[in-house]
Chain A
């Protein structure tokens, strides 16, 4: 019984550590474009506003893109499974564009960035829980060439 309690407490704590509000802050699914340059940013439910952490990540990406001027990128916008398919396609597009706009304000040319939305079609975590959904609400920067 006690063990159970402790375990569940740990589990909750773990989730809390990986989420702030309902925005994912963990590193499980994150890949790197280069050392220290995370490829993705995360969003709150139904939101396309960039968090402080997201802006930080995108500034790193912009810096990396400036250094590697031959690299073009695709921003892939995604949503979690808790929405209707068509709305989520629009939402994914909105998220990817939020990331694109931020990269552009840091001097990356629009010609180097394209955007695609997958809505809820390509989750990274197939779980049906708040943590999995938070990992799936994301915009991923992918090298296009």
Chain B
């Protein structure tokens, strides 16, 4: 209050003009519509197009890259890419000198233009971001890469544009690892799959011979830790995505599960179940030393580190029911943080460090929500029949999770899909996958 008043006084004194005090008008409302953006197709000459038709089997590389950008912007929920039919200026000319009147006529507030060329078998893509109303260039960048990487260029452009227009880092040049599902509910076949954040470039990492669950990336996105039922021994595994080499994590005499990497990537934290009791352990990947973090006769599972590595949030039923707890990294100072009605599970610390996302079960409904790390400020973002396992986008803005449908009286109609939702609870949308999918985990940004 005092601060506010003093601010007001400063404001008054600084803003008085020569003869009169300045009239002030408070603008407290505006529209929350997504920002109208024109994504002009990137221009590419015929020679480039002809060459790339053979190599990539796509007709017009410039169009395709701009489609990637447009789709990303639209899915973010923060931008409204305008219909290309209304564009008056040709892509190549717009890239050199946009006629801002034309673009503001179709209500665009920002404009993206670009150009694609081929130099020595390398793709060179440049783009510019324009402020249409201020009639100014806001940003200009160029990239070179192998042609097969054209989609990534689209994602990187989106990241740059997103960052320039929202003030936050983007999350488009990222991948999602998940479990691809198939078959009847009673005998699901599950495989590890990896795809770009927008659902393209799906690749399968296991064949489906054994049950696999809960894959999670390491901080550099090269390794994945997950649970596999290989030879009917449910154990935490480590997989090098590039080489395909797999190994069991640790030598435990029972089931290990719920693995996650530490923020520095050097440890895996997980649950180990023995004689009906699950506790949390870590294994150092460098020296293979195993440490026990919790020691309690209840179920302790779903551990997740804070981004600074100093704390761990986890799920425990030591109070009698599933609740969320936070402790120091060495297992001391255990504090329960969830006190709302219902059961709480799958806590995940946000990359910004200020929030913990969770799944909540209350009165037969499942919710995805967030709370502060001390348990205050609980906000439920979405309600459904069944959904769980949120994973944060690297900028801490979006959560991805999976949702299962209710079956009918004959037990039919089951499906599992990935969904994402903005931290504000807006922009809930299904994430396209080739098959049914569950247990998504978002990578960090691949570039920069």
Residues of A within 8 A of B (CB): 46, 48, 81-87, 89-91, 93-94, 96-98, 101, 115-118, 121-129, 132
> When the two chains form the complex, which single residue of B233, B302, B414 contacts A86, counting CB atoms closer than 8 Å?
B302
Measured CB to CB, the nearest residue on chain A to B358 is A84
Q: Could you write out 24 A-B pairs with CB less than 8 Å apart?
A: A83-B322, A83-B345, A83-B361, A84-B302, A84-B345, A86-B315, A86-B346, A87-B299, A89-B213, A89-B227, A89-B257, A89-B271, A90-B278, A90-B299, A93-B254, A94-B273, A97-B276, A116-B232, A116-B255, A121-B211, A122-B186, A126-B411, A126-B414, A127-B407
| Total residue contacts A-B, CB cutoff 8 A | 108
Residue B214 CB within 8 A of the other chain: yes
In angstroms, how far is the closest chain B Cβ from the Cβ of A49? 12
A83 to B388, CA, bound (A): 9
In angstroms, how far is the closest chain A Cβ from the Cβ of B416? 11
User: Contacts A117-B234, A127-B407 given: A87-B255 contact, CB under 8 Å?
Assistant: no
Contacts of A91 in B (CB 8 A): 299
A79 to B275, CA, bound (A): 17
In angstroms, how far is the closest chain A Cβ from the Cβ of B312? 14
List the 5 closest A-B pairs by CB distance, nearest first: A97-B276, A126-B411, A84-B345, A126-B185, A90-B278
Measured CB to CB, the nearest residue on chain B to A91 is B299
User: Contacts A86-B271, A121-B213, A127-B409 given: A93-B276 contact, CB under 8 Å?
Assistant: yes
Residues of B within 8 A of A (CB): 184-188, 211, 213-214, 227, 232-234, 254-255, 257-258, 271, 273, 275-278, 299, 301-302, 315, 317, 321-322, 343, 345-346, 359, 361, 364, 385-386, 388-389, 404, 406-407, 409-412, 414, 439
The DSSP consensus for interface residues of chain B is mixed
Are B407 and A126 closer than 8 Å at their CB atoms?
yes
Contacts of B276 in A (CB 8 A): 48, 93-94, 96-98, 101
User: Contacts A90-B278, A93-B273, A126-B414 given: A85-B213 contact, CB under 8 Å?
Assistant: yes
Contacts of B439 in A (CB 8 A): 85
In angstroms, how far is the closest chain B Cβ from the Cβ of A102? 12
Contacts of B386 in A (CB 8 A): 81-82
Are A125 and B255 closer than 8 Å at their CB atoms?
no
A91 to B317, CA, bound (A): 10
Are A128 and B255 closer than 8 Å at their CB atoms?
no
User: Contacts A91-B299, A116-B234, A122-B186 given: A86-B407 contact, CB under 8 Å?
Assistant: no
Are B361 and A82 closer than 8 Å at their CB atoms?
yes
Contacts of B364 in A (CB 8 A): 82
Measured CB to CB, the nearest residue on chain A to B388 is A84
A89 to B321, CA, bound (A): 15
Contacts of A81 in B (CB 8 A): 386, 404
13 extra A-B contacts, CB within 8 A, seeds A84-B345, A86-B271, A127-B409: A83-B322, A83-B345, A84-B346, A84-B359, A84-B361, A85-B388, A86-B301, A89-B255, A90-B278, A90-B299, A90-B301, A94-B273, A94-B276
Contacts of B345 in A (CB 8 A): 83-84, 86-87
Measured CB to CB, the nearest residue on chain A to B179 is A85
Q: Which of B214, B227, B277, B278 has the most CB of A within 10 A?
A: B278
A114 to B258, CA, bound (A): 21
Q: Which of A89, A98, A116, A129 has the most CB of B within 10 A?
A: A89
